[in-house]
Amino acid sequence: MRNGLERLLRYTVLTGFLMPNSAHTITEIAKELAKHPFVTYLDDVQLSDGLLAGAIKNAAVIACSDMGLLVPYVCSSAKVQLFLFQNGGHKFSSGGFVETVVGSGVEHIVVYGHSVCNYTKHMAKSVVDTPAKKGLEFSERSQLELYSVALDCDSASLWEHVGQFNVLFELSKMLADPSILQLATERNLELHAWFYKSDSEQFEVFDPERGAFVVPDINLSNSSVISLVTAEGHYR
């Protein structure tokens, strides 16, 4: 196991520049995503209302596996067609996700991460301990940098940043996938990012215009058809 200084030196040699802070890292990847017209704002109420009222026919949520059986704020009505995938690190590349999106006419994809995640530290460690390859993409360099700092500092707020970065990073990988990109172009497929702050039970949505995760400003009283599961697992 390398110590922090070795990691920092390795990273600095590799990339040729010193580390900006973690907020900057998220801002940079957010800026890249905002250039794609397919990455849009859609919150939990909008998705549930859309599905229940029929304005959205079909959607898929890919969430982290340790978020539990009742994933907070995901529409739970049996009347709607919403595919829920769960795996460690909310990876779109596993478990038939792309096949489902392609074959089932999915219109909206949500990547849904959370803080206090069992998987995040494990994944960061494995990425940092893997020998670095040359010619990393910008987002991969950012990933390595952020993981290294988080492992060294081990602060809860930094791990929260890592969790948010991971959600956006997964969106950027999705947009690099030829079949997803083709669908996005042909079908007006839209991609969204959600984040659940487990400690404070705060739900946030990625807003490309603001380049950040934000607390949705609409509330349940605006919805006439909603059927959601709260963090405690009760219908509200």
The residue ranges that bind Zn ion (CB under 5 A) are: 64, 66, 117, 119
Q: Which of 141, 112, 107, 144 is nearest to 129 (CA)?
A: 144
CB of 64 to Zn ion, least distance (A): 3
CB of 8 or CB of 116, closer to Zn ion: 116
CB of 112 to Zn ion, least distance (A): 10
Per-residue 3-state assignment (H helix, E strand, C coil) for the chain = CCCHHHHHHHHHHHHCCCCCCHHHHHHHHHHHHHCCCCECCCCHHHHHHHHHHCCCCCEEEEEEHHHCCCCCCCCCCCCCCEEEEEECCCCCCCCCHHHHHHHCCCCEEEEEEECCCHHHHHHHHHHHHCCCCCCCCHHHHHHHHHHHHHHHHCCHHHHHHHHHHHHHHHHHHHHCCHHHHHHHHHHCCEEEEEEEECCCCEEEEEECCCCEEECCCCCHHHCCCCCCECCCCCEC
CB of 11 or CB of 159, closer to Zn ion: 159
CB of 121 or CB of 141, closer to Zn ion: 121
CB of 128 to Zn ion, least distance (A): 18
Residues found in the chain:
236
CB of 42 to Zn ion, least distance (A): 21
CB of 19 or CB of 116, closer to Zn ion: 116
CB of 52 to Zn ion, least distance (A): 27
**Phi, psi at residue 200, to the nearest 5°?**
-95, 0
CB of 167 to Zn ion, least distance (A): 11
Query: How far apart (Å, rounded) are the C-alpha atoms in residues 236 and 222?
Result: 13
- Residues linked to residue 110 through DSSP beta bridges, in sequence order: 61, 192
CB of 90 to Zn ion, least distance (A): 8
CB of 117 or CB of 162, closer to Zn ion: 117
